[in-house]
Amino acid sequence: MTIQAVIFDWGGTLTPWHDVDHEALWLEVCSRHYPATRASVLATAALAAERELWLLGEQAHQSATLSQVFSRAGVLASAELLASYFEAWDPHTFTDTEAIPVLTELRRRGIKVGVLSNTMWPREAHERIFGRDKLSSLIDGAVYSSEIPWVKPHPEAFRAAMAAVGVTDPASCVFVGDRPYDDVHGAKSAGMRAVLMANSSVPAYDGSSPDAVITRLSELLGHIEAW
Ligand SMILES: [Mg+2]
């Protein structure tokens, strides 16, 4: 079977894993726009809303959006507050230095490159980051769960990613991700090969075994060559 597409998870895979203190981040964002007491109340509400919506993804595989977080929390998502929010996230979004050479090589081999991210952020937020890090021209298609009803591991999320890169046979796709359940189990259940990027502190899952385990993106190329 010739590999036709490699589809990447984003956080912890195309970006190195970061532990992010969501509570501190929300407080920092709200504090820039509200007096201390109000900022603290809003940050707590935003954190709770964000957790509830992530849980919906984990338990029911339903997607959510950042707009839903803000409306649940009663935080007015002004342009200024949104700018502060993404600015606070910026240090955690930098692309792995091996991504450009690996994606370039995959495309040189005629392999499509895709992205499938469980994310509440809108497409523009991700595209801005890919633009900043000079990745945009190396990605053939991307699916952000904020734009579809499901999150990984739901098979429809993987089907949407295949459609985005124009591939119809899941057996010709490799999925690369850092989460054993969402990424590896999800991709395997959808009929793809799955590679685990083993650097992240995410929950283990024994239900599916990856076809390969890597600790750096560059290790991917050898495996793909062998398939
Ligand atoms: Mg990830």
Sheet holding 193-197, edge to edge: 141-144, 112-117, 5-8, 173-177, 193-197, 212-214
CA 202 / ligand 1 centre spacing (Å):
9
Looking at residue 68, its pLDDT comes to: 97
CA 12 / ligand 1 centre spacing (Å):
4
Q: What is the pLDDT of residues 52-66, one digit of tens each?
A: 999 999 999 999 999
Looking at residue 218, its pLDDT comes to: 97
Q: How far is CA 32 from CA 38, 46, 95, 145, in A?
A: 11, 15, 27, 29
CA 13 / ligand 1 centre spacing (Å):
6
> What's the pLDDT band for 225 if we cut at 50, 70, 90?
very high
Helix, strand or coil, per DSSP, at residue 215: coil
Looking at residue 203, its pLDDT comes to: 85
Q: What is the pLDDT of residues 156-203, one digit of tens each?
A: 999 999 999 999 999 999 999 999 999 999 999 999 999 999 987 888
pLDDT over 70 at 1, yes or no = no
CA 179 / ligand 1 centre spacing (Å):
6
Output the pTM of the full model.
Answer: 0.96
CA 91 / ligand 1 centre spacing (Å):
16
CA 214 / ligand 1 centre spacing (Å):
14
Q: Peptide bond preceding 153: is omega within 30 degrees of 0, i.e. cis?
A: yes
Phi and psi dihedrals of 8, rounded to 5?
A: -105, 140
Looking at residue 206, its pLDDT comes to: 86
**DSSP classification of residue 181:** I
CA 10 / ligand 1 centre spacing (Å):
6
> What's the pLDDT band for 112 if we cut at 50, 70, 90?
very high
pLDDT over 70 at 36, yes or no = yes
Q: What is the CATH number of domain 5-16+94-226?
A: 3.40.50.1000
Domain ranges of the chain: 5-16+94-226, 22-91
CA 36 / ligand 1 centre spacing (Å):
33
> Percent of the chain scored above 70 by pLDDT?
100
CA 116 / ligand 1 centre spacing (Å):
10
Looking at residue 91, its pLDDT comes to: 94
